[in-house]
């Protein structure tokens, strides 16, 4: 099961009505069981309803959750999540209020936090926290995510928490030195996409978009090396102009281990043990006993007693 976050660059009615752009948006979104779309600028909600309709033409199992318009002053964005109802169940949601005493309004866009039941994965109860930081406040907002995660841990008691989205965690917005001091940069937080990744369609290589999981236990539910940017420009063989018309960011994705794979592995191990067992002596062959072996043994014992 694959999960992703995608900064779709000022996604509104104009882009959804653009046939070519929308075609690639649908191709990207339909790869995932759960995907958060960031930087949605859709005051009326018509653009996302239209996008959902087009998405359902490809797969009718998708549902959608939208946040309210979030942001300071006149600039507003929405968090939008598309998910497959045949694979996961939305069990709860929470709009983070960002009203901690002495540290109010730490986020330009407070996360819309969703909780899913995932019946086929190792991590059954999953909490997802989408992020789109204000570039110039990236350090402060990323540090504040520590408190968001802890708050949701207390609220929902789930150990399986993932933070994903556009962190602006690179370049001039967050130096490596500053990254080291933010509270989510060290255990029990684990960054699945490292600083060397390129998550933008521009020629400059920056790892703005990230995925972070809370606790080692959660990290162990992830398919190893599955967290990465999805380079749709290369995948769909787009020129730079067309790629930028879709977005200036690549989605970041990750795959969760499935419970089925776990059972298959256990079955395989059992077979391996039962066929090999204890090593036999070199050159020796194990002979099977005749079907009537036990009966013959009993009769022989009776004859021996009678003779005595």
Q: What is the pLDDT of residues 245-269, one digit of tens each?
A: 999 999 999 999 999 644 444 444 4
Question: Does position 289 have pLDDT exceeding 70, yes or no?
Answer: no
251 HSE (CA, 13 A, CB side): 25
pLDDT band at 73 (very low <50, low <70, confident <90, very high): confident
Beta pairing partners, 211? 164
Question: Does position 22 have pLDDT exceeding 90, yes or no?
Answer: yes
Mean of pLDDT values over 34-58: 98
pLDDT (0 to 100) of residue 103: 63
**Residue 272 or residue 246, greater confidence:** 246
- Poorest-pLDDT segment among 85-94, 240-249, 269-278: 269-278
- Poorest-pLDDT segment among 36-40, 83-87, 97-101, 269-273: 269-273
| Residues in contact with 293: Cβ distance below 8 Å, sequence separation at least 6, in sequence order | none
pLDDT (0 to 100) of residue 132: 98
DSSP 292: T
Question: Does position 273 have pLDDT exceeding 50, yes or no?
Answer: no
235 HSE (CA, 13 A, CB side): 11
CA distance 69 to 44: 10
pLDDT tens for 166-188 read 999 998 999 989 999 999 999 99
Catalytic residues: 77, 132
pLDDT over 90 percentage in the chain: 77
**Residue 73 or residue 246, greater confidence:** 246
| Contact (CB, 8 A) for 1 and 256 | yes
3-class DSSP assignment, residue 242: helix
pLDDT (0 to 100) of residue 49: 98
**Is the previous residue joined to 169 through a cis bond, with omega within 30 degrees of 0?**
no
- Poorest-pLDDT segment among 133-147, 190-204, 263-277: 263-277
pLDDT band at 105 (very low <50, low <70, confident <90, very high): confident
pLDDT (0 to 100) of residue 308: 44
pLDDT tens for 111-148 read 999 999 999 999 999 999 999 999 999 999 999 999 99
Name the strand (E) or helix (H) holding 57: helix 46-58
pLDDT over 70 percentage in the chain: 82
Place of tokens 């969760």: 256
The whole-chain average pLDDT of the chain stands at 88
pLDDT (0 to 100) of residue 260: 64
pLDDT (0 to 100) of residue 266: 45
**Residue 281 or residue 205, greater confidence:** 205
| Contact (CB, 8 A) for 77 and 71 | yes
pLDDT band at 104 (very low <50, low <70, confident <90, very high): low
The phi and psi torsions of 241 (rounded to 5 degrees) equal -65, -45
Domains defined for the chain, CATH in brackets: 2-262 (3.60.10.10)
CA distances (Å), origin 68, targets 164, 201, 225: 19, 28, 34
The phi and psi torsions of 233 (rounded to 5 degrees) equal -60, -45
Question: Does position 285 have pLDDT exceeding 70, yes or no?
Answer: no
């Amino acid at each position: 099961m694959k999960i992703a976050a995608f900064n779709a660059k000022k996604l509104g009615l104009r882009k959804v009505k653009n046939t070519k752009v929308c075609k690639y948006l649908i191709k990207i979104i339909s790869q995932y069981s759960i995907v958060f779309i960031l930087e949605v600028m859709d005051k009326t909600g018509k653009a996302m309803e239209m996008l959902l309709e087009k998405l359902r033409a490809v797969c009718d199992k998708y549902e959608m959750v939208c946040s309210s318009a979030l942001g300071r002053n006149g600039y507003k964005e929405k968090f939008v999540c598309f998910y497959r109802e045949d694979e996961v169940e939305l069990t709860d949601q929470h709009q983070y209020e960002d009203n901690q005493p002495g540290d109010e309004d730490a986020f330009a866009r407070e996360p819309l936090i969703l909780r899913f039941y995932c019946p086929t994965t190792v991590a059954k109860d999953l909490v997802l926290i989408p992020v789109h930081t204000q570039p110039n406040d990236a350090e402060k907002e990323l540090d504040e995510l520590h408190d968001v995660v802890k708050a949701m841990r207390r609220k929902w008691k789930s150990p399986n928490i993932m933070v994903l989205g556009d962190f602006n965690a690179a370049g001039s917005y967050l130096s490596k030195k500053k990254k080291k001091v933010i509270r989510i940069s060290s255990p029990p937080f684990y960054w699945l996409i490292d600083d060397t990744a390129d998550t933008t369609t521009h020629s400059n290589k920056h790892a703005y978009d990230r995925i972070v999981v809370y606790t080692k236990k959660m990290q162990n539910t992830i398919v190893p090396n599955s967290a990465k940017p999805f380079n749709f420009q290369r995948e769909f063989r787009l020129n730079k102009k067309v790629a930028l018309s879709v977005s200036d960011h690549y989605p970041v994705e990750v795959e969760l281990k499935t419970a089925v794979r776990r059972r298959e592995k256990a079955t395989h191990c059992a077979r391996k043990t039962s066929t090999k067992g204890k090593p036999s002596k070199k050159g020796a062959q194990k002979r099977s006993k005749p079907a009537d072996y036990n009966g013959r043994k009993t009769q022989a014992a009776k004859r021996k007693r009678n003779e005595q």
